[in-house]
Amino acid sequence: MNEDAHIDRAHGILDCVVNDARNTAAALAEAAAQILSGQTPTPGSGLRLSADHRRALQTHIQVALQLNPWCNGAGFASFEAHADTDDGYWTLEWWQQEGRSLQHVPLERNQETRRRLDFRAFAWFDQPARRHLPVIEGPYVDYICNGAYTITAAHPVLVRQAFAGVAAVDVLVSTLDRMLLPALRRIGKPALVLNADSRVVMSTAHRIRTGSLWQPQHGDRLIGAPGALRLAVLPAPPSHAAGGHAGQPSLPGLAHSPGS
Amino acid sequence: MTAHAIVYAPIGQGTRSEQVVERLSNAIVAGLLHPDEQLPNENELSRLMGVSPVTVREALNTLRARQLIDTRRGRNGGSFVCPVPAQMMHDRHPLRLATPGDLADLGELHCAVIGHSAKLAAQRSTADDHRRLAQEIDQFEAAKAAQARAQADMRCLLLLATHAQSARLANQELEIQAEWAPLVAALYPHGSVHAEMVAAYRRLQAALQAGDDLAGSALALDMISTQTDHLLEHKLRLDATAPPPQQT
């Protein structure tokens, strides 16, 4: 039984989801750019969707979800500033997927809520808006949409090089847990999924929690590129058979029932 | 105590419709919802607040009868917030309607959520997180109007809860804020409370940046506890000018 083979498999699954998320966001952004190609976005901000644009966009959003069952939500976000004020219009065309059912989430209707819980503060909007670059944000608590711990892949929508909005896809950490934990456990050593800030997305290691920041230590194996989600495999915990070490600080062990 | 006692416990004071009325009425009277602001439609309210459309309809009828909202038909129809007469603002302010016990109790829950959020945030914040919180605290400091101060305060607390990296804590904080914000808004016309909170936030900020989870937690607990004390004092003063109105 090859530990490396199990690590490769787990890493493969992780890589697959991350790449699919990136590509789906990029494809959605491209489709949005085509649909909006007739518009001129206001410099420094986005634009508003006409009814026709919205319908066309919705088709692409629904297809993106249907093609990617792991994807819990997808959509398009934009902000149109009203001159000289803090005010504006928040466009948030968003759909959720649970099992096989797709639902429109009417987030745009209450603009007061959009103003109080402003999505422009999140990296998934801000990075594409300011730097015209795609980004993967997370894990973070998405209190704007699903209220859950989430990872979002976002891509700028550019119309003639002007920023028109952001196309984004969500995967819940709970979904990632279901997809990846069995493979992580089979590795046989404590394993973590880390984001670019070394924040723990998921963990099979004793006392290392989701959401905490992990300092990679000597002996940790890191698999994957540093800028994205990657795998960390920790050294195996000390064997229980090594008696007389009662005072030893505990190394991270596998979170399973003792004696198994 | 078996699980049944918790599961089958009464849902809360009053019927669901009364709870919806109270939440919306408090927000309107405290100025969190502005005159002429449009409410979400019935289905949307039903979804947002987790109650049946029938309950929403009942609540909206009550609010209409109290002249807090106005319903217009037609293409641009919907329910809109009415301007609140000064007397009503005085009589029905959530600070007057709540009992001191209610206020203290809400304060305890809020202390628990924010105290633990601060502890986790101290352990789990990146440099970017610290920068974001610093920005929000700056905005809170710069806010002049009472409503702007209350809203900036809520944004800081929500950010703190999200920096704990816990969906449950953040969602609980949002729920608490629905009641807390209108109450705290009554304190902010007083410059001294604002200045005190700014100082408290700065001390908290320093503890978080130092990664000191114990100090952060203690400071956060103290901050919310002090706000609760202010609310209780303010209520005593309000009640001294006239006895609290009977809840209708």
Residue A257 maps to a domain? no
Number of domains in chain A: 2
Asked if pLDDT for residue B6 goes beyond 60, the answer is: no
- Based on the fold, state whether residues A119 and A204 are members of the same structural domain: no
Chain B CB within 8 Å of residue A143 CB: yes
pLDDT digits (tens, 9 = 90+) for B54-105: 999 999 999 998 889 998 887 778 899 998 887 777 777 888 889 999 999 9
Q: Which amino acid does the sequence have at B160?
A: L
Tokens of A174: 């709970």
| Residue A246 contacts B where some CB pair is shorter than 8 Å | no
What pLDDT, on a 0 to 100 scale, did the predictor assign at position A182? 95
The predicted pLDDT at position B4 comes to: 54
Residue B166 structure tokens: 């816990």
User: pLDDT tens, B183-199?
Assistant: 998 899 878 999 999 99
- CATH code of residue A100: 3.30.450.20
Average pLDDT over residues A26-45: 87
Residues A68 and A192 in one domain: no
Find chain B residues with C-beta within 8 A of A109's C-beta. 40-41, 44
Whole-angstrom distance, CA of residue A212 vs CA of residue A202: 10
Which residues of chain A are within 8 Å of residue B158 when distances are taken between CB atoms?
143
Asked if A185 and A142 sit in the same domain, the reply is: no
Name residues whose C-beta falls within 8 Å of residue A123's C-beta, 6 or more positions apart in sequence: A135, A137, B128
**Residue A190 to residue A232: CA distance in whole angstroms:** 8
If you measure CA to CA, which chain B residue comes closest to A144? Answer: B171
Task: Check: CB of residue A169 under 8 Å from CB of residue A71.
Answer: yes
A193 with A160, same domain? no
Inter-chain residue contact B44 with A116, CB threshold 8 Å: no
CB pair distance less than 8 Å for B164 and A211? yes
Q: Tell me, yes or no, whether A95 and A155 share the same domain.
A: yes
Convert the pLDDT of each residue in A138-193 to its tens digit: 899 999 988 999 999 999 999 988 999 999 999 999 999 999 999 999 999 999 99
Query: pLDDT of B165-187, one tens digit each?
Result: 999 999 999 999 989 998 998 89
Evaluate whether residue A35 is within a structural domain. Answer: yes
Say if A254 falls within a structural domain.
no
Give A52-81 pLDDT, tens digit per residue: 999 999 999 999 999 999 999 999 999 998
Interface check A125 vs B, CB under 8 A? no
Specify the pLDDT at position A253: 54
A204 located within any domain:
yes
Distance of residue B163 Cα from the nearest chain A Cα, in angstroms: 8
Say whether both A120 and A228 belong to one domain: no
Average pLDDT, chain B: 88
The predicted-structure confidence for A88-137, as pLDDT tens digits, reads as follows: 899 999 999 988 899 999 898 888 888 888 999 999 999 999 999 999 99
- The region that residue B64 occupies, defined by phi over 0 for left and psi between -120 and 50 for alpha, beta otherwise, is alpha
CA distance A127 to A131: 6
Q: Are B193 and B144 spatial neighbours (Cβ–Cβ below 8 Å)?
A: no
Q: What is the pLDDT of residue A243?
A: 44
Helix (H, G, I), strand (E, B) or coil at A141: strand
Residue ranges making up the domain that contains A188: 181-233
Distances A34 to A39, A74, A82, A94, A95 between C-alpha atoms, Å:
10, 18, 25, 19, 20
What is the Cα Rg of chain B in Å?
A: 19
Smallest Cα–Cα separation from A45: which of A85, A76, A88, A75? Answer: A88
Distance between CA atoms of residues A218 and B21, nearest Å: 59
Q: Percentage of residues in chain B with pLDDT exceeding 90?
A: 56
ipTM of the complex: 0.85
Is residue A253, in this structure, part of any structural domain at all? no
A34 and A114, same domain (yes or no): yes
Is A188 found in the same domain as A164?
A: no
Comparison of pLDDT for B187 and A257, the residue scoring more: B187
Are A186 and A112 contained in the same domain? no
- Reported residue count of chain B is 248
| Contact call for residues B37 and A112 (beta carbons, < 8 A) | yes
More confident residue, A68 or B2: A68
Whether B165 and A141 lie within 8 Å, measured CB to CB: yes
Q: Same domain, yes or no, for A40 and A165? A: yes
Residues of chain A with Cβ-Cβ distance to B132 below 8 Å are: 121
Same domain, A207 and A164: no
Same domain, A42 and A140: yes
Sequence-separated (6 or more) residues with CB below 8 Å from residue A83:
none
Tell whether A194 is covered by a domain.
Answer: yes
Residue A232, pLDDT > 70, answer yes
Element (H, E) at A192: strand A191-194
Q: Which domains can be identified in chain B, with CATH numbers?
A: 3-85 (1.10.10.10), 94-241 (1.20.120.530)
Is residue A243 in some structural domain?
Answer: no
Question: Which chain A positions have a beta carbon within 8 Å of B167's beta carbon?
Answer: 141, 147-149
Q: Residue A248 falls within a domain, yes or no?
A: no
**Chain B contacts of A122, Cβ < 8 Å?**
none
Residue B228, exposed/middle/buried by CB under 10 A (0-12, 13-18, 19+)?
buried
What's the pLDDT at A22? 96
- Contacts of residue A81, Cβ cutoff 8 Å, sequence gap at least 6: A42, A44, A45, A87, A88
Interchain contact A39–B (C-beta under 8 A): no
